[in-house]
Amino acid sequence: MIVSTRVEYGVMALLDIAIHSENGISVSTAEISERQNVSQKYLEQILPLLRQAGLIRAQKGLRGGYRLSRPAANVKLSEVINALDADILADMEPVEEGRAGALRCCINECLWVRLNGLLREYAEKVTLAEFLAECKGKTSGSWDMYVI
């Protein structure tokens, strides 16, 4: 499966915001860009999608930036993915045998439809907090921390 950079960077940006805004501090696109080595201009196109979905809040001003709009434990991964690309978790339509051979129909139903269902099930079950904890566990504290 191919995931767009919009989804990849959006999830990365949201995790960065969750990590660095724990004390109520807003996280700027420039900070995320520097820590994650992602284009700031591209982030400025992605973050409004997360804001429109109600996942983050924007704060204007000198100390402006983004914060989670609710606790990470109350955000499902499916919400994040759907905010960035609703097609990833959409139900797959079975291939009609008239358009394709029987083997292609079987592969579609037995493999792709099932894999899509498992992905959707996982994304609907796992919260941002659980995903963040798993990521922290796998990186053993090697976060790209930005300390002043």
pLDDT tens figures, 40-50: 999 999 999 99
DSSP state of 54: T
Q: CB–CB of 69/56 below 8 Å?
A: yes
Domains, the chain, in order of start with CATH, read 5-89+127-139 (1.10.10.10)
pLDDT tens figures, 14-72: 999 999 987 888 999 999 999 999 999 999 999 999 999 999 999 988 788 999 999 99
E strand residue ranges, 29-140: 56-59, 65-68
pLDDT tens figures, 98-148: 666 778 878 878 888 888 889 999 999 999 999 999 988 777 655 555 444
CA distance linking residue 126 with residue 53, whole number of Å: 18
Per DSSP, the residues of 6-29 read HHHHHHHHHHHHHHHTTTS--B-H
pTM for the structure as a whole? 0.82
CA distance linking residue 144 with residue 36, whole number of Å: 8
